[in-house]
Chains A and B, each alone.
Chain A
Amino acid sequence: MAARLAEEWFTICGGCEVTILDIGEPLLDLLEKVQIVHMPVLMDHKLFGQTGEKTEMEIPEADVGLISGGIRTEEHKLLAQEMRRKCKTLIALGSCACYGGIPALANLSTTEELMTKVYRESVTTDKNGFPHEDIPALTDRVYAISEVVKVDMILPGCPTTPEMVAGALTALLEGRPFTLSTKSVCDECPTIREKKATSTLRRRLEPVDFTPGAPLTQMRCFMEQGFLCNGPATRSGCGGSEGTPRCIRAYMPCEGCFGPISEKANPMVDMMGALSTIGLDPKQIPDRAATFNRFSGAGRLRPAPKR
């Protein structure tokens, strides 16, 4: 019998859902083994019944549940709880669900500051009020799914990778364990490292030094060239079976989208160490907290104290 699959999405961009489609033709084989019972982006199961006749949100029973996006409204909280009740295995899909992701940068501001910016200070906006009818209340900050309900598995990345989603779902269907890498992006980066920076820290306003057409194995490490790279404190795996991390292939440093190397890791401490080791001064980086926790702000970032 086909395994039943449910998917919900909260504070999202849709990139992880597109990633599922990016599995490509193997997805068609996978779809023969699963029955999708709830997935708003692809199918029409409604939360309050098909004609809106119910009063409580309801998700069908499922073997596997996927949640993408962090939690930003009270409605997301209720839905996360309903997903937990109905799904035997619950997976946090993508870095927003796992760690808050980019939307958790909002945790640096208070809700009042956000409101003022959007509805009072925008150059094109008529200042004729605030939305308030029939819209769900916001939570006080962005939460990772695991801060609200128990999660059985995380698949990080912004977005996560097709290979990882296919691998995890196949493992689950076959009753095999699925594990994430515990290495860092640097462990899979092919560039040359000599443990010594050749420049002080530089902003990404100029090209990195590389020979077009030459393999990445002939290029010096970004950080040793003085360009900040979150590789040392970021979990590897984005490159899939090909190995080389995705952004490195574009001659751009890692921005840290796979999140911390382990649940216990502290990216701030790891990055300060990595920079100091090669002779760079972390204090040159303004806004270090948001730079080193760019994708893991749920629970790690908070508004600056009032001066």
Chain B
Amino acid sequence: MGKTIVIQPVTRIEGHAKITIQLDDTGNVNLARVNVIELRGFERFCMGRPVEDMPRITPRICGVCPWSHHLAAAKACDAVFGVTPPPAGAKLRELCNSIAYMEEHILHFYFLAGADFLLGPDADYSVRNVIGVLQAAPEVARRVVRVRHMCAKMLEIIAGKAIHPQAAVPGGFSKPLAKDERDQLRKMADEALELAKFSIAFAKESVFPKYLDVVKSLGVITSGFIGTVKENGALNLYDGKLRLMASDGSFDDFAYDRYTEFIGEHIEPWSYLKFPYAKKRGAFSLEDNAPGLYRANTLARINVCDFIDTPLAQAELEEFRRKFGRPAQLTLLYHWARLIELLYNAENAIRLLDDPDITSLETRVKVTPRAARGVGCTEAPRGTLIHDYETDADGMLTNMNLIVGTTHNNAPINLSVTQAAKSLIHDGKYDQGVLNTVEMAIRAYDPCLSCATHRLDGKMSVKLDIFDAQGSLLDTLAN
């Protein structure tokens, strides 16, 4: 076997991963893998704690999308306690979700992935970053920094804290929104909408056309998709039903608590991260266009929804579908779909702020512990987020299962990276520009490996023989 190239760490993503590329004797790619090398263990250490603590503890899974975990946890608690929040409680949660989305989509497009497009994939690594963007396009950069920061301020006005908030509680929201706060937020939302409109126009005019060839070739795979839609099929990021679409466009819709019927998780020995697959469509296989293969995150949601119920984003969706069809498969279209969602969230935030319910004083109902199971889902920016809790009669957590956005994309990311490496590395020739272009296939998915590695395990030595009955793999675990 030939040389092994290790890219560590994968940069301008959230969390820890490395890429291992094995070359054969002729210097062509034999195998490429994304090894996820970070771990924590929330499912274990949350057990036995009061379930109402989950909206406070689980946001720490991810400081980039804390609101997604915060809200999925609050919704799972609602289900456990069997309550429905008052309209203002639900709408304040959804408002925060949309604002958090804007902050994160701006962060990803301009701060993390943008440098590859604005400065070029093979620009020197020392300038191929947000600082380089600042110098290349200072006006745009300053505006982007201001609006992203403004979104954080909006969340502070509503919830006291933008990162790791506490305001969503079982049964609703901890405090109402004052009318003067609403008026202040409304102006800020207008500025965010202007940046959203600018961003998609700017990308369609100055970014995507330049990289059309890359878009059509880099990391391209064929898969199914998962996302959330309302009863009427409209895109929704806070609440609805799950839709799992196959690559031919056929789909199953199901309620949150039925996810275990549709999704299985496979373990590979070379990554701490599990590999979810659509289990009704067949066994797991790490192959392009495998029947069980599906993707999550922006492109997935844009594909599974029948329409978007805000006018500007709907117009963008129609244009996108005319160009790329449904479901669209090109991996770099994640960036385009992300900007459509940015626009939707700006419009949705304005719609919610204009809703008279939003300043209602009734934001929360009291809850009473009981033995129950509750599943709460949201669409995190990086994909469908599932929090599944079980409690005893005192409301203490007895079981927990979490599947996060990035985990759904584990197999697709590996396949896209393999495709990218095989198409770019030939006869043992590569440089930092080529390797960065391989990384771009990962960045399109905006993976959050902090989220994905909320679980914890580790290099085991002595005590794994406990699991002897489960299979022969135990032998290889000795370290």
A252 at the interface (CB under 8 A from B): yes
- Contacts known (A15-B163, A24-B146); A36 close to B131, Cβ less than 8 A: yes
By the criterion CB–CB under 8 Å, are B471 and A129 in contact? yes
By the criterion CB–CB under 8 Å, are B40 and A72 in contact? yes
By the criterion CB–CB under 8 Å, are A126 and B284 in contact? yes
Contacts of A122 in B (CB 8 A): 43, 265, 401
By the criterion CB–CB under 8 Å, are B401 and A124 in contact? yes
B240 at the interface (CB under 8 A from A): no
B435 at the interface (CB under 8 A from A): yes
By the criterion CB–CB under 8 Å, are B270 and A135 in contact? yes
Contacts of B149 in A (CB 8 A): 21-25
Contacts of A106 in B (CB 8 A): 40-41, 44-45, 456
Contacts of A126 in B (CB 8 A): 264-267, 284
User: Shortest distance in angstroms between B466's beta carbon and chain A's nearest beta carbon?
Assistant: 7
Question: Closest A-chain residue to B104, C-beta based?
Answer: A18
Q: Is the interface of A mostly helix, strand, loop or mixed?
A: loop
Specify which of A11, A27, A41, A252 is in contact with B167 (CB 8 Å cutoff).
A252
Specify which of B35, B148, B366 is in contact with A135 (CB 8 Å cutoff).
B35
User: Shortest distance in angstroms between A288's beta carbon and chain B's nearest beta carbon?
Assistant: 12
Per-residue CB proximity of B70-106 to A under 8 Å, as 1/0?
Answer: 0000000000000000000000000000000000000
B457 at the interface (CB under 8 A from A): yes
Among the interface residues B47, B48, B156, B458, which one has the most CB atoms of the partner chain A within 10 A?
A: B458
* Distance of A207 Cα from B174 Cα, bound (Å): 7
Per-residue CB proximity of B149-186 to A under 8 Å, as 1/0?
Answer: 10010001001111111110111001110100000000
Contacts of A42 in B (CB 8 A): 11-12, 111-112, 129-131
* Distance of A213 Cα from B366 Cα, bound (Å): 20
By the criterion CB–CB under 8 Å, are A14 and B15 in contact? yes
Which of A123-173 touch B at CB < 8 Å? 123-138, 158-159
By the criterion CB–CB under 8 Å, are A21 and B107 in contact? yes
A248 at the interface (CB under 8 A from B): yes
By the criterion CB–CB under 8 Å, are B457 and A125 in contact? no
A16 at the interface (CB under 8 A from B): yes
By the criterion CB–CB under 8 Å, are B464 and A130 in contact? yes
- Contacts known (A44-B436, A51-B430, A52-B7); A108 close to B60, Cβ less than 8 A: no
Contacts of B458 in A (CB 8 A): 73, 111, 114-115, 137-138
Contacts of B63 in A (CB 8 A): 12-19, 159
- Determine, out of A82-90, A176-184, A198-206, A270-278, the stretch whose residues face the partner at the interface: A198-206
- Contacts known (A42-B111, A115-B458); A133 close to B368, Cβ less than 8 A: no
User: Shortest distance in angstroms between B4's beta carbon and chain A's nearest beta carbon?
Assistant: 9
B369 at the interface (CB under 8 A from A): yes
User: Shortest distance in angstroms between B22's beta carbon and chain A's nearest beta carbon?
Assistant: 11
- Contacts known (A113-B44, A120-B470, A132-B476); A43 close to B125, Cβ less than 8 A: yes
By the criterion CB–CB under 8 Å, are B125 and A50 in contact? yes
* Distance of A36 Cα from B129 Cα, bound (Å): 10
* Distance of A36 Cα from B131 Cα, bound (Å): 9
By the criterion CB–CB under 8 Å, are A109 and B44 in contact? yes
Contacts of A131 in B (CB 8 A): 267-272, 457
By the criterion CB–CB under 8 Å, are A44 and B134 in contact? no
By the criterion CB–CB under 8 Å, are A105 and B160 in contact? no
Give B residues with C-beta under 8 Å from A. Answer: 5-9, 11-16, 20, 35-41, 43-45, 47-50, 52, 56-57, 59-64, 66, 107, 111-112, 125-126, 128-131, 134, 141-142, 145-146, 148-149, 152, 156, 159-167, 169-171, 174-176, 178, 259-260, 263-272, 274, 276, 284, 361, 364, 366-369, 388, 395-396, 399, 401, 403, 430-432, 435-436, 448, 450, 455-460, 463-464, 466-467, 470-471, 473, 476-477, 479
Q: What would 8 more interface pairs be, CB under 8 Å, given A17-B63, A203-B369, A249-B161?
A: A24-B146, A51-B430, A72-B40, A105-B57, A106-B45, A124-B260, A132-B477, A246-B160
4 A-B pairs closest in CB distance: A15-B63, A138-B458, A249-B160, A250-B160
Give A residues with C-beta under 8 Å from B. Answer: 9, 11-19, 21-25, 27-28, 31, 36, 40-48, 50-52, 72-73, 75, 101-103, 105-106, 108-109, 111-120, 122-138, 158-159, 203-207, 210, 212-213, 246-252, 255, 257, 286-287, 290
Give 20 A-B contacts (CB < 8 Å), ordered by A residue. A14-B62, A28-B141, A42-B111, A43-B130, A48-B6, A73-B458, A106-B41, A111-B460, A114-B457, A116-B467, A126-B267, A128-B267, A129-B267, A132-B459, A159-B164, A203-B52, A212-B178, A246-B161, A252-B167, A255-B56
